[in-house]
Amino acid sequence: MKVCLMKLCRLLCSALSLPLHAMQVIGLRGMYKRLFPLLAYNVTFSYNDKMHRVKRELFRNMARFADTDGTLRLLEIGCGSGANFKFYPHGCTVICTDPNPHFEKYLRMSMDANQHLTYDKFMCVSGEDMRGVRDGSADVVVCTLVLCSVSNVQQVLQEARRVLRTGGAFYFLEHVVSDSSSWTYFLQYVFEPLWCFLGDGCMITRATWKDIEVAGFSELNLRHIDAPDVSLMIRPHIMGYCIK
């Protein structure tokens, strides 16, 4: 009975999303692509306040992956507006990538606010294709709240492995699907069509940890957590890091 109700509610939610898809057909989606970075930039402050302790814990050992000369070269996939910059170790060099060029304005604002870092460049590329980054050139790759919206999770993970040097680390923090017996999963399943459109492709029913587990890293440190004080539909998170 619950499954039937869930499918019916999702169908209704999909129907409510039809006007939004009509906007995409007539070309208004491009306008939302320009607006989305502004929305994401403003949401960042609230999310970082709620996740401050979690992010501090996640990135606290990052300096251990510095190269033998003490430098730490970090590449961030889907950097957005630079929400993670404040948590990175002093003096590390950051390469920023994001497929949405309209984030760059807000990214520059975050750079100005985080002068403890050295910024190499911003590359407008997808996580699935970072051919402009050399093999083994990064000590650390970071990916937070990104794997929910990429087209091919495994391809992104393989690109992360490619650009990492041997012994380097891939850090992740992602919201994931809840247990299928929970009411959280019910809400995720029902509202995903609408959430995906408003969230610029964000899928809330992905079991991302399964992709990370089979990505071929030599060591995996992964935890499931409930993010504090965030929307019920994205409360289930995974966090951790893998070593190449």
Give the model confidence (pLDDT) of 228-240 as tens digits. 888 888 999 999 9
Q: Pick the more confident residue, 6 or 87.
A: 87
Query: What domain range is 212 assigned to?
Result: 1-243
Report pLDDT for 197: 81
Whole-Å CA distances, 152 to 127, 128, 156: 9, 7, 7
Percent of the chain scored above 90 by pLDDT?
A: 70
Report pLDDT for 22: 62
Report pLDDT for 149: 95
Question: Per-residue pLDDT tens for 8-51?
Answer: 777 777 766 666 666 665 655 667 778 888 888 888 888 999 99
Predicted confidence band at 200 (pLDDT cuts at 50, 70, 90)? Answer: confident
pLDDT, average across residues 91-114: 94
- Compute the mean pLDDT over every residue in the chain, rounded to the nearest whole number: 91
Query: Which residue, among 48, 81, 29, has the nearest Cα to 198 in the 3D structure?
Result: 29
Alpha-carbon span 98 to 45, nearest angstrom: 19
Alpha-carbon span 31 to 34, nearest angstrom: 5
Question: Per-residue pLDDT tens for 205-223?
Answer: 999 999 999 999 999 999 9
Question: Per-residue pLDDT tens for 157-184?
Answer: 999 999 999 999 999 999 999 999 999 9
Report pLDDT for 39: 85
Tokens linked to 76: 């961030």
Task: Provide the 10 A C-beta neighbour count for residue 69.
Answer: 5
Residue 241 above 70 pLDDT?
yes
Amino acid identity at 179 = D
Report pLDDT for 136: 96
Q: Report yes or no on whether pTM surpasses 0.95.
A: no
Q: Would you say 75 and 125 are in contact if contact means Cβ atoms under 8 Å apart?
A: no
Sign of CA dihedral 55, 58, 61, 64: negative
Report pLDDT for 234: 94
Number of domains, the chain: 1
For the residues of the chain, what is the DSSP string, one character each?
A: -HHHHHHHHHHHHHHHTHHHHHHHHTTTHHHHHHHHHHHHHHHHHHHHHHHHHHHHHHHTTGGGG--TTS--EEEEET-TTTTTGGGSPTT-EEEEE-S-GGGHHHHHHHHHH-TTSEEEEEE---TT--TTS-TT-EEEEEEES-TTT-S-HHHHHHHHHHHEEEEEEEEEEEE-PPPTTSHHHHHHHHHHHHHHHHTTS--SS--HHHHHHTS--SEEEEEEEE-TTS-GGG-EEEEEEEE-
Length of the chain: 244
Report pLDDT for 84: 97
Q: What is the CATH number of the domain that holds 45?
A: 3.40.50.150
